[in-house]
Amino acid sequence: QCLESSALDQSFVSLLQCHLFPLPFSHRTDSTSITRQKMSFRGLFNPTFARLAASAWKVVQGDKVTIVSGSGKGQVGEVVKVLRKSEQVIVKDCNMVKRRLKKDHPSQKPEITYERPVHRSRVAIVDPVTNLPTRVKFGFLEDGTKVRIAKRSGAVLPRPAGPARDTKRKEGDLDTAPDLARKVTYSQ
């Protein structure tokens, strides 16, 4: 090795051995270097980082989409739910599956039919002008609002009307009252 352990701290040497000169696990004796390599490996290939690095979602609840690949290719439906954690969407009346229930189940029906989630890479938004699948880009209007634009026709894709989000914070039992928070309790 080119580094002398007497000149450098032993932990620094093990760090260099771990990251700059990786050796197979069988050749390492220092447990901290093995732990460091495992941690860096988990950090680099963690699927959470891939999701965070993905661009903004262009498919939202209420969009009309078509399935572009897989067993349900060509089916058109409306997005019922977006599952961001698993990068999937549930499309109404698409990718339907049947499941048989046990005989002692309280429901009277012996089988149920429901939509299975579809990965977001397998769906494409339907262009409102041409009724064909299109890719989507983001753009800005003259007044500065950010909108989705269909690449096929250049038409602006409006956000579907959904339930209004309540952005106002509600006060709870443990919150400090506003008049007490504004009260001056110190002297200068």
pLDDT of residue 164: 63
- Closest to 64 (Cα-Cα) out of 165, 153, 150: 150
Write the pLDDT tens digit of every residue in 4-33.
Answer: 444 445 554 454 455 544 544 444 444 444
State the Cα–Cα distance between residues 133 and 29, nearest whole angstrom: 57
Sign of the torsion angle spanned by Cα atoms 15, 17, 18, 20: positive
State the Cα–Cα distance between residues 110 and 128, nearest whole angstrom: 40
**Sheet architecture: strand order including 64-67:** 118-119, 88-91, 76-83, 64-67, 123-126, 133-134
Query: Mapping DSSP to helix (H, G, I), strand (E, B) and coil, where does residue 113 land?
Result: strand
CB atoms within 10 A of CB 70: 12
Query: Mapping DSSP to helix (H, G, I), strand (E, B) and coil, where does residue 50 land?
Result: helix
Write the pLDDT tens digit of every residue in 129-173.
Answer: 999 999 999 999 999 999 999 999 999 998 887 666 666 777 778
User: Do the beta carbons of residue 68 and residue 125 sit within 8 Å?
Assistant: no
State the Cα–Cα distance between residues 152 and 137, nearest whole angstrom: 10
For residue 100, what are its two tokens? 């048989």
This prediction has a pTM of 0.58
Lowest mean pLDDT among 39-48, 67-76, 105-114: 39-48
At 15, which helix (H) or strand (E)? helix 10-19
State the Cα–Cα distance between residues 13 and 85, nearest whole angstrom: 39
Q: At a CB cut-off of 8 Å and minimum separation 6, what does 30 contact? A: 14, 17
